[in-house]
Amino acid sequence: MKKIYFLTLLLVVTFTGCELEQLPEATASRNAIFGSKEGLDLYVNSFYTMLPNGNGCTTRDAMSDYLAVKTVPQFLQEAYGASNSSGWDWGDLRNINYFLKYNVNPAVPADVREDYNGIAKFFRAYFYFEKVKRFGNVPWIGKPLDVSDTTILYGGRDPRTLVMDSVLADINYACSNIKATSEPSRSLITKYVAYALKSRICLFEGTFRKYHTELGLENTANFWLNEAVTAAEAVMNSGIYSIYTTGGSTKAYRALFTSTSVITSEVMLAALMDQTLNELHDANWYWTSGTYGDKASFIRSFINTYLKIDGTPFTDTPGWETMLFKDEVKNRDHRLQQTIRMGDYKRIVGGVYVPAPPVFSYTFTGYQPIKWTLDDEYYDTRDLNVNDVPLFRYAEVLLNYAEAKAELGTLTDADWANTIGKLRARAGITGGLTTKPTVVDTYLQSTYFPDINDPVILEIRRERGIELCLEGFRFHDILRWKRGELMKMEWNGFYVPELVTPLDLNEDGILDVAFYQGTKPSPAVPGVTYVDVSDKPTNSQRLKNNTYGELTWMNNYPRVWDDKRYYYPIPTSALITNPNLGQNPGWE
């Protein structure tokens, strides 16, 4: 991300009960900032801090339906309430609105000012999109406030329709007025990044309105879905981006997330790492440490959704329920081997590549992620990762386009081939690339989306889950599809046929793990990790059928979901300051 050196422009002081912040006018001469292109550029740089950094991206799916973690997320516990809530901060908005108000100096040509206003409005749309996703109705504030604006400062929240119409106006302005169409470093906002954001916003809003019928906005859903389609089409028709395939189906996908040089053919915007500036992230530490982070691993129910290499459902395979890990991962969508430790995966240990099966000091399920990690133990402690982190990818734009058109009922075979077909071809899948599916996958439907009977929508949701996993989309996808109940899915792992007998997880001739109850076997097999699956209250790791079956994790710790959790509560501190905000339903 663009580095910010001139922090004086970011000095702010809190001065109102609404937690809106004012930029002190004494910080720098207004003419010095707004009187030249260089000043505008310097100011606009400050907006980039709103975007996630490396750590903020690689761990955003820790609360999702497809990851088991070491403790139940606070939001999914019964005791969660307004006193635990966060995110009601408005300093970034004040910074943007101040810029938009004062970027009127005629010393700067009008088209230049409009370009920078486009970037500012991109960020205001981004800011409000995040707020609406989190809280639903929020106050729309389109100017920098001062102490005399008490009606706004202590007013209530505005309707979702007003706020989202304003967001759409902002992102449309950004798409029309940002001049740059491409930027080599992929660290700056361009016209087509704005279109990508628009496709993301409009898909979310269209599907949220369609499936959340309690809002009474279903009749407006198609408008937003059509806007998502046209925004995605603008990116697709630009000819700037393509699906990255260098290295073939077994390497290209993961390279997007482990490269130390951003892959510009597909990545539209990235958080760039720079070792000389100590701009690094901690993905290896998070995804390999037995003590740090969430120890997040995929559940088997999600792994089951990866297709076989011929494009047919894995769960159509006879006997899939009792397949051993070493067998179930074979002949599958090649993204699977680029997402978890399996097969011939190796890492550098002591300067030498060695086989690296799932490590049970980390994983609870056996499906240990590798999507963001570098294959060298050097990076496994502290924040040492140098791999760049994509924030916007062309693949997401294709998925947004396909889903919006499917929801509208207008997706053609050609659309399928140019979107889902391209992504699956990159993953090595050979079947079903050119024509839409016509048969419902009963496992996918019954496990995830029982109310969806359209095989096209089901398959696009499958594809979105797999292609974008661990990139921070899943929880909000669940919210907009109104499938919050998925957050209570059992945390299940691979199949264990019997106790005590060690398993060779990667078929390298070395035994890796065994499961026991009661007393650890003695003598122990050298190199084998022994995992206690005793059925006792203090033990959270068990087998579904007591002495055999799928691994389970934390079945004895309930997770809760109810409709109020489609929004976060307004934090107690904000309500104390301004009771007119009102609380979200169910959180009173």
**What is the CATH classification number for the domain harbouring 461?**
1.25.40.390
Residue by residue, DSSP assigns 221-276 as HHHHHHHHHHHHHHHHHH-------TT-TTTHHHHHHH-SS--TTTEEEEE--BGG
> 293 and 410 in contact (C-beta within 8 Å)?
no
pLDDT at 32 (0 to 100): 87
Return the closest-CA partner of residue 340 out of 383, 384, 378, 296: 296
> 490 and 562 in contact (C-beta within 8 Å)?
no
Place of tokens 């359209």: 454
Residue by residue, DSSP assigns 423-450 as HHHHTT--SSSSS---S--HHHHHHT-T
User: Does residue 186 form part of some domain?
Assistant: yes
Q: How far apart are CA 302 and CA 364, in angstroms?
A: 15
Tell me the sheet residues that pair with 304. none
> 572 and 87 in contact (C-beta within 8 Å)?
no
Q: How far apart are CA 112 and CA 217, in angstroms?
A: 38
Cα-based distances in Å from 219 to 209, 223, 245: 8, 8, 40
Return the closest-CA partner of residue 467 out of 393, 389, 386, 407: 393
User: Does residue 198 form part of some domain?
Assistant: yes
> 302 and 435 in contact (C-beta within 8 Å)?
no
> 228 and 404 in contact (C-beta within 8 Å)?
yes
Enumerate residues 6+ apart whose C-beta is below 8 A from 305.
314, 443, 444, 448, 462, 465, 466
Q: How many CB atoms lie within 10 A of CB 206?
A: 26
pLDDT at 56 (0 to 100): 80
User: Does residue 564 form part of some domain?
Assistant: no
Residue 499 tokens, joined:
């106790």
> 112 and 122 in contact (C-beta within 8 Å)?
no
Q: How far apart are CA 359 and CA 341, in angstroms?
A: 9
Residue 524 tokens, joined:
């122990």
Predicted TM-score (pTM) of this structure:
0.95
Count of structural domains within the chain: 1
User: Does residue 265 form part of some domain?
Assistant: yes
Q: How far apart are CA 338 and CA 428, in angstroms?
A: 12
Walking along the chain (588 residues) 10 residues at a time, the average pLDDT comes out as 39 35 52 94 97 89 97 97 97 97 97 98 98 98 92 95 98 98 97 98 99 98 98 98 98 98 98 94 96 96 98 98 98 98 97 97 97 98 96 98 98 98 98 98 98 98 98 98 98 98 97 97 95 94 97 96 98 97 97
Return the closest-CA partner of residue 117 out of 93, 90, 145, 96: 96
Q: How far apart are CA 338 and CA 344, in angstroms?
A: 11
Q: How many CB atoms lie within 10 A of CB 413?
A: 11
> 530 and 502 in contact (C-beta within 8 Å)?
no
Residue by residue, DSSP assigns 119-139 as HHHHHHHHHHHHHHHHHSS--
Query: In terms of DSSP H, where are the helices of 63-185?
Result: 91-102, 110-135, 150-153, 160-177
> 385 and 393 in contact (C-beta within 8 Å)?
no
Enumerate residues 6+ apart whose C-beta is below 8 A from 291.
none
Residue by residue, DSSP assigns 362-425 as T-SSSB-B-TT--SBGGGGSSS-B---EEEEEHHHHHHHHHHHHHHHT---HHHHHHTHHHHHH
User: Does residue 359 form part of some domain?
Assistant: no
pLDDT at 21 (0 to 100): 41
User: Does residue 402 form part of some domain?
Assistant: yes
Q: What angle do CA 426, 431, 432 make, to 5 degrees?
A: 95
Enumerate residues 6+ apart whose C-beta is below 8 A from 424.
307, 311, 333, 432, 433, 463
Residue 352 tokens, joined:
């030498």
User: Does residue 263 form part of some domain?
Assistant: yes
Residue 467 tokens, joined:
């292609």
Q: How far apart are CA 320 and CA 352, in angstroms?
A: 35
Q: How far apart are CA 184 and CA 390, in angstroms?
A: 14
Q: Dihedral sign, CA of 75, 81, 84, 88?
A: positive
Residue by residue, DSSP assigns 436-491 as ---S--HHHHHHT-TT---HHHHHHHHHHHHHTTTTT-HHHHHHHTT-GGGGG---
> What is the extent of the structural domain holding 214?
180-271+391-418+432-471
User: Does residue 211 form part of some domain?
Assistant: yes
